[in-house]
Amino acid sequence: MHELSVARAILDRVETEAEAAGLAAVRQIKLEVGSLTGIVPESLSFCFEAITGGTVAEGADLAIEALPAKGRCLEGGHEFTFQGYAFACSLCGSARFRITGGRELQIVELQGDPP
């Protein structure tokens, strides 16, 4: 729903990282996105392309890897992944768990050209 503001935040971060690494142009950005962030990859890619014209990331490919939602059960300590909206421990069925994964939104790799 807020992909445009996320795209802007990604571009900020890419510009900082590219400068630090001495990249003249960024070709590919690998991004990890947790399934609980609610981010729609197609929408994010569309927004990203729309705002990167004239920047170091113009034309860069946004490679998005979806990360599953994860929880740790507060009853039995079981660690599990869950699909989107099945909010329960896969072992005992309890919904008394702490979310331990699925909220990630991070750049893990940049590929680009030297000056």
Interface with other proteins, residue 100, by CB under 8 A: no
Of 11 and 54, CB closest to other proteins:
11
Distance separating alpha carbons of residues 19 and 56, to the nearest angstrom: 9
Stretch that binds other proteins, among 31-39, 45-53, 54-62 (CB under 8 A): 31-39
Q: Residue 97 is encoded by which pair of tokens?
A: 């768990």
b/e burial code for range 59-96 (CB count within 10 A of at least 16 → b)? ebebebeebebbbebeeeeeebebeeeeeebeeeeeee
Interface with other proteins, residue 27, by CB under 8 A: yes
Pick from 76, 87, 91, 92 the residue near other proteins by CB under 8 A: 87
Give me the least distance between CB of 53 and other proteins, in Å please.
20
Site residues for other proteins, window 32-71 (CB under 8 A)? Answer: 36-38
Q: Residue 57 is encoded by which pair of tokens?
A: 């990331």
Interface with other proteins, residue 89, by CB under 8 A: no
